Structure 1
Amino acid sequence: MIKILGESHPDQVVFFDPALSSQNVGDEIISSSAREWLSPLFETDFKMRVSTHQKMSFRYRRYLNDSKLMFVLGSNLLKSGMLIGFRQWDISLFDALQLNDVVLVGCGWHSYEKRVDAYSSLLYKTVLSDRYYHSVRDEYTKNKMEQIGITNVINTGCSTMWGFTPEFCENIPREKASYAVATLTDYNRDPVRDEEMLSTLLRNYDDVSIWLQGNGDRRYAASLPSFRKCGTISSTLEAFDEVLASKEVDYVGTRLHGGIRALQHGRRALIIAIDNRAREKHRDFNIPVLERDAMVDLEAWIKGGQATDIHIPIAEIDRFLRQFERK
Structure 2
Amino acid sequence: MNIAIYDTSIASPNVGDQIIMDAVNREIEAMFPDAFVERIPSHDRVSVRGRRILKHADYVIAGGANLLFSHWTRQRHWKMGWRDLPRMKNKLVLLGTGWAAYADPPDFLTARIYRSLLCDNAHQSVRDAYSARYLSAAGIKNVVNTGCPTLWQLTPAHLATVPQNKARDVVATLTDYAPAPHEDRLMLETLKRQYRNVHVWIQGKQDKAYLNSLGVTGLREVAPHLSAYDALLRCEDDLDFVGTRLHAGIRALQSGRRSIIVSVDNRAREMGRDFSLPIIERSDISKLQDLIESAMPVAITLPQEQIDLFRTQFSRR
- Please indicate, yes or no, whether the TM-score normalized by the shorter chain is above 0.5: yes
Q: How many residues in Structure 1 have an aligned counterpart in Structure 2? A: 315
1:7 maps to none
Tell me by how many angstroms 1:279 deviates. Answer: 0.6
Q: Is 1:238 paired with 2:227?
A: yes
* CA offset digits 1:149-169 (Å, max 9, x no partner): 000100000000001112211
- Which sections of structure 2, spanning at least 5 residues, go unmatched? none
Separation (CA, whole Å) in 2 of partners of 1:69 and 1:205? 48
Alignment match of 1:31 (pick from 21, 38, 51): 21
Tell me the distance in 1 between the aligned counterparts of 2:267 and 2:211: 22
Code of the aligned partner of 1:97: P
Residues 259-308 of structure 1: per-residue CA shift (max 9 Å, x gap): 01101101000110111111101110000000111112111121141101
State the superposition RMSD in angstroms. 1.2
Match in the other structure for 1:212: 202
In structure 1, C-alpha distance between the alignment counterparts of 2:53 and 2:243, rounded to whole Å:
40
Q: Deviations over 1:45-78 (max 9, x none)?
A: 2111111111113443113323122100110110
Could you say if the C-alpha distance between residues 93 and 125 of structure 1 is closer, same or farther in structure 2, counting changes exceeding 3 Å?
A: farther
Structure 1 pair 33–59 and aligned structure 2 pair: CA distance change class (3 A): closer
Q: Aligned residue for 2:186? A: 196
Residue 183, structure 1, aligned to residue 169, structure 2: no
Mapping of residues 257-268 of structure 1, within 5 Å: 257-268=247-258
2:148 pairs, out of 152, 155, 158, with: 158
Match of 1:143 in 2: 133
Q: For the Cα contact (< 8 Å) 1:108–1:138, is it kept in 2? A: yes
Match of 1:43 in 2: 33
TM value normalised by structure 1: 0.94
Q: Out of 41, 59, 80, which is 1:91 matched to?
A: 80
* Contact kept in structure 2, 1:83 and 1:92, CA below 8 Å: no
- Distance in 2, Cα, partners of 1:58 & 1:82: 21
Counterpart of 1:222 in structure 2 is 212
Could you give the per-residue CA deviations for residues 184-238 of structure 1, whole angstroms, max 9, x where no partner exists?
0111111001000000000010000110000010000001121x31010011100
Task: Determine if contact 1:41/1:325 at 8 Å carries over to the other structure.
Answer: yes
- Work out whether 1:281 is the aligned partner of 2:281: no
Query: What residue is the counterpart of 1:313 in the other structure?
Result: 303
Task: Give unmatched runs, 5+ long, in structure 1.
Answer: 1-10
**Are 1:93 and 1:123, in contact at CA under 8 Å, matched by a contact in 2?**
no
Distance 1:161 1:311, change over 3 A: same
SS at match of 1:15: strand
What percent identity do the matched residue pairs reach?
38
Runs of 4+ in 1 over 6 A off after TM superposition: none
Q: Which amino acid aligns with 1:110?
A: A
Maintained 8 Å contact 1:92/1:123: no
| Larger CA deviation: 108-117 vs 58-67 | 58-67
In 1: Cα distance, 2:85 partner to 2:121 partner? 16
